[in-house]
């Protein structure tokens, strides 16, 4: 465990504290490529870190922005899926897990770039509890297998299926992410050994960063930071692809990412842009 790893964990935690999510998606690449852990150990350790930082986020959630009953119901279903995912991961090669994680990074990046869209209460249909439980189970399964919090899946699910206003959905998602992460960790512990001193050092560093980030929220523009992080996460996903599949595939993905970023920023400079229908991502002024 190097000073660089701990320092970067603090930064990841700060991003999590600033945005309420998103930064944790960088934890697996940090542990795998900087700390030198193997794929499954990195994912298991990431679940510990995400669980700890999300729990801290819940304790610092803004008053009235956590719906405990909905969060605990959704999270209970998610825990079953997350534990199953952690157990299932023992049968999946590490390379496949990291490629799946790269796909999760790309999906998270796109969600961050698009931003959060409020859902009007009138547009929220009544959804049966069994369907909510099934969605929670599926989200938990993804979390348990690849080791990501899955906030970009949890928040829309709580808003649309749970009928929660967006600010409440964001706060409540931390409960779900924390429950899923610890359950997924339990599944991994059945087959993956964790270096606890290193894991606790990274978790502590990320937790400190999350506390600092929460205090800095008034000093930064969250939307601008979210979009910048979104492009960075998308770029990092190409690094994972190049490491786990082939350098040429990674270069191709990086090139497409660069082209998309250039087109998006260029389109944002003009009131009328014929590409706007193809690039629905909103750029903060």
CA–CA gap between residue 231 and residue 198 (Å, rounded): 29
Q: Are 21 and 173 in contact (CB under 8 A)?
A: yes
The dihedral through the CA atoms of 136, 139, 144, 145 has a sign that is positive
Q: Which residue would you say has higher pLDDT here, 201 or 270?
A: 201
Q: Which pLDDT band, with edges at 50, 70 and 90, does 283 fall under?
A: very low
Specify the pTM.
0.74
Query: In the prediction, which pLDDT does 127 show?
Result: 54
Could you read off the pLDDT of 137-154 as tens digits, one per residue? Answer: 888 888 888 777 666 678
Residues 87-92: what's their mean pLDDT?
86
Could you read off the pLDDT of 34-45 as tens digits, one per residue? Answer: 888 888 898 889
Could you read off the pLDDT of 116-125 as tens digits, one per residue? Answer: 555 554 455 5
Query: In the prediction, which pLDDT does 285 show?
Result: 41
Q: Which residue would you say has higher pLDDT here, 90 or 255?
A: 90
CA–CA gap between residue 90 and residue 93 (Å, rounded): 8
Q: Which pLDDT band, with edges at 50, 70 and 90, does 113 fall under?
A: confident
Could you read off the pLDDT of 233-262 as tens digits, one per residue? Answer: 777 777 777 777 766 766 776 677 666 666
Least confident residue range of 33-37, 71-75, 169-173: 169-173
Q: Which pLDDT band, with edges at 50, 70 and 90, does 92 fall under?
A: confident
Q: Which residue would you say has higher pLDDT here, 208 or 275?
A: 208
């Amino acid at each position: 465990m190097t000073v660089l790893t701990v320092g970067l964990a603090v930064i990841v935690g700060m991003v999590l504290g600033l945005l309420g999510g998103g930064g944790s998606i960088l934890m697996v690449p940090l542990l795998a490529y900087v700390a030198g852990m193997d794929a499954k150990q990195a994912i298991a350790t990431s679940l510990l870190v995400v669980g700890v930082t999300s729990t801290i986020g819940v304790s610092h959630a803004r008053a009235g922005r956590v719906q405990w009953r909905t969060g605990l119901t959704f999270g209970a279903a998610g825990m079953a899926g997350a534990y199953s995912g952690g157990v299932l991961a023992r049968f999946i090669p590490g390379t496949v897990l990291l490629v799946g994680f790269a796909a999760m990074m790309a999906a998270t990046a796109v969600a961050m770039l698009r931003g959060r869209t409020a859902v009007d209460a009138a547009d929220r249909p009544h959804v049966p509890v069994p369907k909510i439980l099934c969605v929670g189970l599926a989200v938990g399964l993804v979390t348990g297998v690849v080791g990501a919090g899955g906030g970009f899946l949890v928040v829309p699910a709580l808003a649309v299926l749970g009928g929660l206003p967006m600010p409440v959905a964001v706060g409540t998602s931390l409960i779900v992410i924390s429950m899923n992460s610890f359950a997924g960790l339990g599944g991994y512990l059945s087959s993956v050994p964790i270096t606890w001193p290193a894991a606790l050092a990274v978790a502590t560093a990320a937790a400190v960063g999350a506390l600092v980030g929460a205090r800095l929220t008034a000093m930064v523009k969250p939307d601008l930071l979210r979009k910048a992080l979104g492009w960075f996460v998308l770029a990092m996903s190409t690094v994972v692809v190049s490491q786990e599949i082939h350098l040429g595939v990674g270069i191709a993905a990086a090139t497409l990412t660069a082209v998309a970023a250039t087109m998006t920023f260029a389109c944002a400079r003009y009131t009328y842009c014929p590409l706007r229908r193809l690039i629905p991502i909103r750029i903060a002024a």
